[in-house]
Structures are given as structure tokens and as C-alpha cells.
Amino acid sequence: MSSMKSKLRCTGAIAVLCLLALAASCRGFFVKPTLTSLAVGPVSPTIYVGNVNNTVQMFAVGTFNDGSNSNNTPVSWSVSGTNATTNQPIATISASGLVTAQASGSGTVTATSNVLPSISGTQPITVSVACTSAPIITPTTGTLTQQIPSITFTATCNGGVDISDVATWFSSNTNLATFAGSTLTATANSGANGSFYITASANGFTSQQIQLSTSGF
């Protein structure tokens, strides 16, 4: 009887060892997914200089080679961009991805993988001035010619704060002239001369219309 018990114990021990070995070998088939890309959000946020709406919490979502996604991917954060007038950084960013406005301007938030530093994601960000009245445009007149095909405008609000680089610029006739930033450039073809107007908008306020023209094309 004792011999039978010993055999059973031995058989049981062997079975347990076999199960452990099988489990270990099976685990070898489950390879940890590899990060392939990072997406950064929210999309194109705008925050404001001052004490109101002056921060935004960024987040990063990783995509892996097995098609899965995770918002727990460890990343390092950075933000670029300076004010066009003062060259001051537009914002700071914490280790957790909280952006805080410093000066008006446009820039980029970047998340870089801590595991695979070659993989990063970016998102544009705008830091604006919380205008409490309509922007004011200067100069208030102008004519685009072949000799002077471009004019750079300035928009200010709140008693003179420059918002030129963050305002939304509008040309009423893009067949005559279009904006790139705050610079208006003639697009008129030969004989396509005429009058049009421009505006600048920020924070729901729109400037008065500035009447312009193209001539000599």
C-alpha cells in the first residue's frame, strides 16, 4: 500500500511539473506588442494669456503593431513656439502634459515615447490674447501693385496687445489677394484689378473692414 502511495505521489509530482513546463512554454508565444506610433490630443487647442482658460491638458495615445491602442503609454512632453515680437516662449508644459500659456503665438506640443524615443507625436497649439473688443488693423489703407505685391498688417486688441500672429485673417476676394499669416499678397492675374476688403478676428470679435485694391496687373 505504501508503495502504491509513493507511486501516486511521484506520478502527481511529474504531472504538476509537466503542467508548469507547458505553461512556461505557452507564455513564450505571447510577445509583448511593440509601439508603432503616437497620436497627441486634443486637436489644435487654443488657450489664452491671463488667468482664464490659460491651460490645456494634453494626452497621448499609442498604437501598437498588433492593432491595439493605449493611453497609458509613458511619454515625455515638450512645447515649442515663441512670441513674434518678444521672442518669449508661448507656453510651458509639465511632466504630465499640462500646457500653461505664457505669451501669444503658435507652436507645437510633442510627446516622445520613453520606451522608443524614435517615436513621437505632435499637435499644433495656439496661445492667444483674450480680446474683450474687436481687433484694430493697421495700416488702414493700401494698394497692391506689381512693385508692392505684399503688405504685412498688424492687429491689436485690449489697448494695443499685438495679436497679429494668432488672429484669423480674411480677404473678401482671394482672386485678388490672399493671406499667409498677417501678410497679404496679390494673386491678381493680368487685368484682374479691383477693390476688396480684409478683416482680422480673434475670440469671437471681428475688426472693421479695411478697404484695399489691386492695381497695375
CATH number of the CATH domain containing 191 = 2.60.40
Any domain includes 25: no
CATH code, domain with 100:
2.60.40.10
54-83: per-residue pLDDT in tens? 999 999 999 999 999 999 999 999 999 999
Give the chain's mean pLDDT. Answer: 88
Q: Is the pTM of this model over 0.75?
A: no
Residue found by looking up cell 490645456 in the block: 56
Is 62 in the same domain as 120? yes
Residues 99, 146 within the same domain:
no
Terminal C-alpha separation, the chain: 113
Mark whether 111 and 184 lie in a shared domain: no
Range of the domain at 185: 136-214
My answer on whether 168 and 199 are in the same domain is yes
Q: At which of 96, 129, 162 does a domain end?
A: 129
Q: Per-residue confidence at 14, pLDDT binned at 50, 70, 90?
A: low
Residues 125, 140 within the same domain:
no
Which of 103, 129, 155 delimits the end of a domain? 129
Q: Is 93 exposed, middle or buried (0-12, 13-18, 19+ CB in 10 A)?
A: buried
Least confident segment among 20-24, 114-118, 155-159, 211-215: 20-24
Q: Other CB atoms closer than 10 Å to residue 168's CB: what's the count?
A: 13
22 within domain boundaries = no
Domain count for the chain = 2
Of 161 and 99, the one with more pLDDT = 99
C-alpha span between 176 and 193 (Å, rounded): 7
The answer on 117 and 59 residing in a single domain is yes
The answer on pLDDT for 172 being more than 70 is yes
Q: What is the pLDDT of residues 17-46, one digit of tens each?
A: 455 444 444 444 567 899 999 999 999 999
Asked if 141 and 81 sit in the same domain, the reply is no
pLDDT of residue 165: 87
- Is the per-residue pLDDT at 161 higher than 70? yes
Q: For 99-133, how does the pLDDT look when each residue is reduced to its tens digit (9 = 90+)?
A: 999 999 999 999 999 999 999 999 999 999 989 99
User: Does 159 fall in a domain?
Assistant: yes
